[in-house]
Amino acid sequence: MARPAIAQLLPPELARTLGASRSGVYKALPTGIETLDLALQGGVPRGAVTEIFGEFGQGAWWLGLHLLAQVKDKICALIEPAGTFFPPGAAALGVDLGRLLVIRESNRKQALWALERISHEKVVGATLAVMERMSELEVRRLQLAAEASGQVLLLLRNPREISRASWGALRLHVHARPGQRNGRCLVVETLRARGALAPRPVLLEIEHATDAVRLSALLPHATGGTVTARFAG
Amino acid sequence: MTLTEARALVPGLAASMLDEQAQARALETLALVCQQFTPRVMVDAPQAILLDITGCERVHGGEVALVENVQATFRRLGYSSVTALADNATAAYARALGDNRKPESLPLEALRLESALVATLRALGVCRLGELLALPAESLPARFGDALVSRLRQFRGELEEDFEVYRLPEVPSERLDFTDPTGRRDALLFALRRAATGLSEQLNALGCGALRLEVSMRASEGAPLKFSVDLSRPAQDSRSLAAVLLGRFETLDTGETWFEGLELSAPSRAQVVGRQRDLFAQAEPAHEAGFIELVDELVGRLGVNAVSRAELTPDPRPERSYRYVTFDTTQAAQVQVAPGRALTFFEPHPVELDLDEQGLPSRWHEGRRSRSLTCVRGPERVDFAWWEGGKERDYFEVEDEEGARYWLFTQDGRWLMTGAS
């Protein structure tokens, strides 16, 4: 029997007050990956901050840009003070560069101002930002801005910051699995999903030739200890 | 009446010394604004602007609509005015000075005659234009001089009165002088907005938008504070101009400085062309008013180069395969991109690798850490032009033992890392 989401156990008013209700004002943005949408109850939340943690080269950028490419009808924005964004790679994933506002500002304070300013805009559908050392207060301000504008606000963050408290509605951890020569394997773990129990991790197999997701599957939750199977005979 | 008498009648009446220079500048600004109604604008300082609207009324929906438009513009700029319409400049001027009364009821002062002549006529019982016109015309030159006769002929349209024709300034600018020096940021922000409104009217009149704004704020002591903003597209809307100015001003520290005024100019401009839309096309989100304001504010604060979109080029070299352009440029031709490109790209740095028998990377040494590598894509050869050294590069995508993917290339036997996925 499926376990009910926490939000459904609470009175509706209390669920909304605590921010636990996913059936809020905005519909979720489908990720374009059926299994991931199933795990996230429809997709990444609009009007909220989604944090994506991942080590360098382990797929966090892939997931962030893939989600950006799902926004079809609005302008998107990208802010990355380090300046490593590679437009041809984003275009290969389906990001419409003609509708992508790129902020090239290396000063963190100015970049953060731009991120906050853009987060308030309803005309922007989604913003992807890569900012180091974001404080709880900074993320909270972005969350409030996203709630007002209805944007999908994606923050790519270093896994070293996972332990920091955050106001983000959804926290994902992306890491790669080695061994696929004609494709690539990524695992997307949900660390926190507001209003729901943590869904199971999702395995994605990405086709080399097309960068399309050819397979996605739910993985079992990781267990704390080692399970030893014993056989008699 | 004296100032004391005036204050007795109107308690709290605000009074200040007349600044003739400021008055002349304001008149010039209004004359420039009036260029939007007619190219032939004449100025009679300190109080009058004359517009020759012959042939222009059709563009503005008729004479009455044009006059209403002029009045509305002056009101918007904070001026009260009396506007009159006539067949010639002298008559229009006289009617305006006479509060648009009928010609025969106009006071003699409306003809702008010498005060001595007016006094003489009043002594003779002639106080209105109608009474003056009733005098025998042949007797006027001998009794009152040629000046009166000329003015009457100008009033009737028989002779043209010379007025100074307004010449467009080389650089439209708006100058504000504060009543009192101030260092308060809210007051300075208000002044910038006010200046933006005035400049916007001038740019609208000229049919162009500003590509660069320069501000000079006159300090009570010391050098003026100067700053400039480059815009990504010609802007003439007052909100857009104010957004970029305020965005830039907020990054400046004025400290304890007090300012006496400011001057805002647009040294670089371009024609503003309206976009023609397809009748059935959806509204372009990039041109929604909210998005345009957002871009203006970002440009004002960060600079025009920081706010852009990326455009692909056909160049196979990764560092030349894209460029950044402003949002207002036309879309470039679509360039097909092969899958499997890196998602991040940075300045290449050398890496220490072990190679296998085939010459492919098999191990990466980074400090004390060592990771095994598997080549998953490549080599992809990219040739560089002979004038750039002519050295080719072979690009590879490799995966380490944890599944992380990196973009490497080899050139002249050296291995460098330049991106990741």
Residue type, A106: S
Residue type, A33: I
Look at residues B309, B302, B314, B300 and name the one whose alpha carbon lies nearest to residue B328.
B309
Q: Which residues of A touch B290 (CB under 8 A)?
A: 121-123
Strand B352-355: give its sheet, edge to edge.
B344-350, B414-420, B405-411, B393-400, B369-382, B361-366, B352-355
Chain B residue whose CA is closest to A116: B298
Res B331: pLDDT: 54
Res A229: pLDDT: 31
Strand B48-51: give its sheet, edge to edge.
B48-51, B41-44, B164-165
Res B389: pLDDT: 66
Q: Is A61 on the interface with B (CB under 8 A)?
A: yes
Chain B residue whose CA is closest to A184: B403
SS3 (DSSP) at B196: helix
Q: Determine the topology of domain B169-272+286-334 in CATH.
A: Dna Ligase; domain 1 (3.30.1490)
Note the Cα B149 to chain centre separation in Å: 47
With a CB cutoff of 8 Å and minimum separation 6, the contacts of B229 are B212, B213, B244, B245, B247, B248, B299, B300
- If residue A75 lies in a helix (H) or strand (E), which one and from where to where? strand A75-79
Residue type, B348: P
Strand A170-177: give its sheet, edge to edge.
A213-218, A202-207, A183-193, A170-177, A48-53, A152-157, A124-130, A75-79, A100-103, B307-312, B322-325
Chain A residue whose CA is closest to B301: A110
SS3 (DSSP) at A222: coil
Rounded to the nearest angstrom, the minimum Cα separation between A183 and chain B is 8
Segment A166-219, tens digit of pLDDT: 888 899 999 998 866 678 899 999 998 876 666 789 999 988 777 788 878 888
Residue A227 scores a pLDDT above 60: no
Nearest Cβ partner of A98 from B331, B337, B376? B331
Residues in chain B: 421
Segment A14-54, tens digit of pLDDT: 655 555 444 456 789 999 998 889 888 889 999 999 999 99
- With CB atoms and an 8 Å threshold, state whether B377 touches A90: no
Note which residues in 160-189 of chain A have CB less than 8 A from chain B.
175-179, 181, 184-186
- Best mutation target among B249, B252, B343 (most A Cβ atoms within 10 Å) is B343
Q: Is B325 on the interface with A (CB under 8 A)?
A: no
The b/e string for B21-45 (b: 16+ C-beta within 10 A; e otherwise) is eeeebbbbbbbbbbbbbbebbbbee
Q: What are phi and psi of A64, to 5 degrees?
A: -60, -45
With a CB cutoff of 8 Å and minimum separation 6, the contacts of B135 are B126
Rounded to the nearest angstrom, the minimum Cα separation between B296 and chain A is 12
Nearest Cβ partner of A91 from B337, B345, B404? B337
- If residue B42 lies in a helix (H) or strand (E), which one and from where to where? strand B41-44
Nearest Cβ partner of B341 from A86, A101, A176? A86
- With CB atoms and an 8 Å threshold, state whether B377 touches A208: yes
Q: Which residues of B touch A56 (CB under 8 A)?
A: 404, 420
Res B277: pLDDT: 46
For residues A77 and A96, the answer to whether their CB atoms sit within 8 Å is: no
Rounded to the nearest angstrom, the minimum Cα separation between A10 and chain B is 38
What are the distances in angstroms from CA B37 to CA B33, B56, B60, B63?
8, 7, 8, 11
Q: Which residues of A touch B376 (CB under 8 A)?
A: 181, 184, 208
Rounded to the nearest angstrom, the minimum Cα separation between B212 and chain A is 20
**CA angle B56–B61–B66, rounded 5-degree value:** 65
Res A222: pLDDT: 66
Segment B311-345, tens digit of pLDDT: 999 888 888 899 998 876 555 556 666 666 788 98
Chain B residue whose CA is closest to A119: B294
Q: What distance in Å separates the CA atoms of residue B203 and residue B36, rounded to the nearest whole number?
A: 9
- With CB atoms and an 8 Å threshold, state whether A57 touches B406: yes
**Sequence spans of domains, chain B:** 21-165, 169-272+286-334, 344-420
Rounded to the nearest angstrom, the minimum Cα separation between A43 and chain B is 23
Note which residues in 258-277 of chain B have CB less than 8 A from chain A.
none
ipTM score of complex: 0.82
For residues B382 and B321, the answer to whether their CB atoms sit within 8 Å is: no
- With CB atoms and an 8 Å threshold, state whether A118 touches B298: yes
With a CB cutoff of 8 Å and minimum separation 6, the contacts of B85 are B63, B67, B92, B95
**DSSP per residue over B387-420, as a string?**
GGT---EEEEEEEETTS-EEEEEEETTEEEEEEE
Residues in chain A: 233
The b/e string for B266-288 (b: 16+ C-beta within 10 A; e otherwise) is beebeebeeeeeeeeeeeeebee
Residue B389: Cβ within 10 Å count: 10
Note which residues in 66-105 of chain A have CB less than 8 A from chain B.
73-75, 82-93, 97-105
Q: Is A57 on the interface with B (CB under 8 A)?
A: yes
Look at residues A181, A77, A37 and name the one whose alpha carbon lies nearest to residue B360.
A181
Q: Which residues of A touch B308 (CB under 8 A)?
A: 101-102, 104
Rounded to the nearest angstrom, the minimum Cα separation between A27 and chain B is 20
Res B267: pLDDT: 93
With a CB cutoff of 8 Å and minimum separation 6, the contacts of A117 are B294, B297, B298
Q: What distance in Å separates the CA atoms of residue B351 and residue B365, rounded to the nearest whole number?
A: 8
Chain A residue whose CA is closest to B403: A178
- With CB atoms and an 8 Å threshold, state whether B343 touches A113: no
Chain A residue whose CA is closest to B406: A57
Chain B residue whose CA is closest to A90: B343
- With CB atoms and an 8 Å threshold, state whether B403 touches A175: yes
Q: What distance in Å separates the CA atoms of residue A52 and residue A36, rounded to the nearest whole number?
A: 14
For residues B78 and B100, the answer to whether their CB atoms sit within 8 Å is: no
With a CB cutoff of 8 Å and minimum separation 6, the contacts of B404 are A55, A56, A57, A58, A176, B420
Q: What distance in Å separates the CA atoms of residue B282 and residue B269, rounded to the nearest whole number?
A: 30
For residues B176 and B261, the answer to whether their CB atoms sit within 8 Å is: yes
**DSSP per residue over A155-181, as a string?**
EEE-GGGTTS----SEEEEEEEE---S
Q: Is B322 on the interface with A (CB under 8 A)?
A: yes
Residues of chain B with pLDDT under 50: 276-283, 285-286
Segment B56-71, tens digit of pLDDT: 888 888 888 998 999 9
Nearest Cβ partner of A105 from B288, B306, B345? B306
Token reading at A122: 């309803």
Rounded to the nearest angstrom, the minimum Cα separation between A78 and chain B is 10
- pTM for the structure as a whole: 0.72
Look at residues B395, B403, B232 and name the one whose alpha carbon lies nearest to residue B319.
B395
Nearest Cβ partner of A75 from B291, B308, B399? B291
Q: Which residues of A touch B380 (CB under 8 A)?
A: none
Residue recorded with tokens 């010391």: B222
For residues A19 and A10, the answer to whether their CB atoms sit within 8 Å is: no
